[in-house]
Amino acid sequence: MAKTNINSPVQNSWWQAFIRRPEFLTLSLILVLVTIISAISPSFLTIQTLFDLLRSTVRLGMFALGVLLILASGGIDVSFTAIGIFSLYATTKILLAVAPNAPFIVAFLIAITIGITLGLFNGFMVDRFRAPSLIVTIGTLYLFHGILLAFIGTKHITTLPAGMKAFGRANLVEFVNGNNIKVALPLTVLIFALAALLTWWILNRTMMGRAIFAVGGSVPIADRLGISVRHVYLFIFGYTGFLAGLGGLMHGSSNRLANPFDLVGSELDVIAAVVLGGARITGGHGTVQGTILGVILMVIINNSLILVGIPSTWQKVVVGVIVLFASGMFSGVFSKSK
């Protein structure tokens, strides 16, 4: 009787696909969580809950897309939240003082200009001193936030410029459900989707995307291949600043509030989402699809576990366990794929 070859290509094809696409693990975790939460709380599977989850992905997702590029290049950035809140608060103050009735496009241009400028400063410092980006961005996190609080303002602004208020109220879909509750999907979800598409195009269809992964693989080898590491650093940090500035502006407009103490402190949630999406801290790997799945997983954990009776104080524990489990799985998968 012929023995079954357990190492045959046909039988192991699913495992090979898993090795090449570690975000499958993240998708599996999402499906398990959704199944468990839905079984315990059937109200979870509603359009209202779906829209709430999509709304919650925007802020985390905008920051995560920028962090993806930094991790793919072999670096770590923790200053993006400071850039986001600096851009939001400074833009709000400028418009209220100069043009409170200006359209949202003016706020958009000011916020992304501030974000890109601060991001380029990060890139310049990392390239100039060839210091670890984690150390540099820890410094700029405190620098940017300190400048904001010391020189721009510390008061909450609840009366936003007209353009920002109008943008915060704009919805893609809006209706009243059977319980007479208004359900809406905000415009910010579409902007996040466009930002994800742009990031995917950069990483997969441009020479800069190839250069980012090459630098993440090995800076000396990238240098020998003729890749300008300086241009890569300036681009990825400038692009991260652009996304952070836009993300901060959308966050403030949606909440109808410019709070200079907001956002800073949520850096680890964003980095965890990107790592859960399959990106490696050592660089050279990461996908937009995986990052979005990681963001969705984090949002489900942070926003939905209360539905199954898990106290909010335990959510960080759940996140830590899942990150450790996923990191161990990714490490095993990658080592076996070599």
Per residue in 286-322, pLDDT (tens digit) is: 999 999 999 999 998 888 777 667 777 777 787 788 7
pLDDT in tens, 209-219: 999 999 999 99
Residue 18, pLDDT above cutoff 80: no
C-alpha span between 260 and 219 (Å, rounded)? 37
Q: What is the mean pLDDT of residues 319-327?
A: 75
pLDDT in tens, 87-135: 999 999 999 999 999 999 999 999 999 999 999 999 999 999 888 999 9
pLDDT, residue 6, reads 46
Least confident stretch, 11-25, 216-230, 312-326: 11-25
What average pLDDT does the chain have?
Answer: 88
pLDDT, residue 15, reads 54
What Rg do the C-alpha atoms of the chain give, in angstroms? 21
pLDDT, residue 2, reads 45
Contacts of 251-254 with C-beta under 8 Å, sequence gap 24+, read 251/58, 251/59, 251/84, 251/88, 252/88, 252/89, 252/92, 252/160, 252/164, 253/104, 253/107, 253/160, 253/164, 253/165, 253/167, 253/168, 253/188, 254/55, 254/58, 254/168, 254/186, 254/188
pLDDT top residue among 19 and 90:
90
pLDDT, residue 325, reads 74
pLDDT bin (cut points 50, 70, 90) of residue 3 is: very low
pTM of the predicted protein model: 0.90
Tokens representing 332? 């095993």
Q: What is the mean pLDDT of residues 72-87?
A: 96
Residue 277, pLDDT above cutoff 50: yes
Q: What is the mean pLDDT of residues 219-240?
A: 94
pLDDT bin (cut points 50, 70, 90) of residue 328 is: low
C-alpha span between 270 and 247 (Å, rounded)? 13
Residue 162, pLDDT above cutoff 70: yes
Instruction: Say if CB 289 and CB 270 are below 8 A apart.
Output: no
Share of the chain above pLDDT 90, in %: 62
